[in-house]
Amino acid sequence: MAAPMPDSLAMLGDITEEELSLFSDFHYHELVASILNYKQGVGPIPKDFELLTWADRLEAQSDYYVMSRSSQTGDVARTMKQIDGDDAPLTIRHTKNILGFQRDVLGVLQISSIETSDAQLTELMNGFLAKYNISGDLLKRGRWDYMPFKSLDDVVSKRAPWRMWDLQGQQSTWFVGSYASFESVADVLDYNMKLVNNRLCDPGSPSPSTDTDYSETDGCGLAFPLSAFMWVTVLVSVLL
């Protein structure tokens, strides 16, 4: 199951009690990504800037909601749990300067309440950009269910991540993606490599500890064909 939970539970035909218990609800933050065409007047920001980010705002931005699946209907609903009242941008990304895109577009990221309207988000964004003498027309916006996480109680007392690990491969099902690991491509990849190395190549191994780098595990999964290729190359070179 590489699609997000709890929505993806609907795709499982025969859901076990443990699957329901682990995947029926997740906490989320909403990430808003807006793309604007870019107009910059004279101001404090240099024309060749790439990324401006206000990471200290993240600490104050505590909006989160719970997505939960109804045990009666199977429908998934979002319920706001905390609204901090600060939905202003935390990052401005000048993609043209970073990646050399032809169009002069700007990306703006906000973490918001799901109850904040698009019009309010635009007003906040424009007001914030105006401080830096930046403006632009909104070309496209996406609002994502972002950074799925379990409550502290679910992690510490109910040991949800370790129970998910123990469930892997049962009923021919593997649970992967940011809801099983953490919201970054590197974490998703790292978790998937742990699964391949520990469950497909060495099925008897215990649950991963938090301080072991399983991506370095050798003699298994992707590592074996690569080392076999290397040895064949060396052998052929010696023979020639």
Ligand X SMILES: Cc1cc2nc3c(=O)[nH]c(=O)nc-3n(C[C@H](O)[C@H](O)[C@H](O)COP(=O)(O)OP(=O)(O)OC[C@H]3O[C@@H](n4cnc5c(N)ncnc54)[C@H](O)[C@@H]3O)c2cc1C
Q: Answer yes or no whether residue 184 interacts with ligand X by CB under 6 A.
A: yes
Q: Answer yes or no whether residue 188 interacts with ligand X by CB under 6 A.
A: yes
Binding mask 115-144 for ligand X (x = CB under 6 A): -----------------------------x
Q: Which is nearer to ligand X, 3 or 80 (CB)?
A: 3
Q: Answer yes or no whether residue 174 interacts with ligand X by CB under 6 A.
A: no
4-10: Cβ within 8 A, 24+ apart: 4/145, 4/148, 4/177, 4/178, 4/179, 5/148, 5/175, 5/179, 6/67, 6/68, 6/69, 6/76, 7/67, 7/69, 7/76, 9/69, 9/74, 10/74
Q: Answer yes or no whether residue 21 interacts with ligand X by CB under 6 A.
A: no
Q: Which stretch binds ligand X (CB under 6 A): 1-9, 42-50, 71-79, 195-203?
A: 1-9
Q: Answer yes or no whether residue 58 interacts with ligand X by CB under 6 A.
A: no
Q: Which stretch binds ligand X (CB under 6 A): 55-63, 83-91, 130-138, 183-191?
A: 183-191
Q: Answer yes or no whether residue 86 interacts with ligand X by CB under 6 A.
A: no
C-alpha distances out from residue 195 to 26, 46, 174, 183, 236, Å: 22, 45, 9, 17, 33
Element (H, E) at 96: helix 95-99
Q: Judged by CB under 6 A, which of 178, 197, 198, 217 binds ligand X?
A: 178
Q: Tokens standing for 158?
A: 């109910």
Contact 191, 184 (CB under 8 A): no
Q: Which is nearer to ligand X, 173 or 227 (CB)?
A: 173
Binding mask 189-228 for ligand X (x = CB under 6 A): ----------------------------------------
Q: Answer yes or no whether residue 51 interacts with ligand X by CB under 6 A.
A: no
Element (H, E) at 23: helix 17-23
Q: Distance between CA 111 and CA 195 in Å, rounded?
A: 31
Binding stretches for ligand X (CB under 6 A): 2-4, 8, 31, 33, 144, 146, 177-178, 183-186, 188
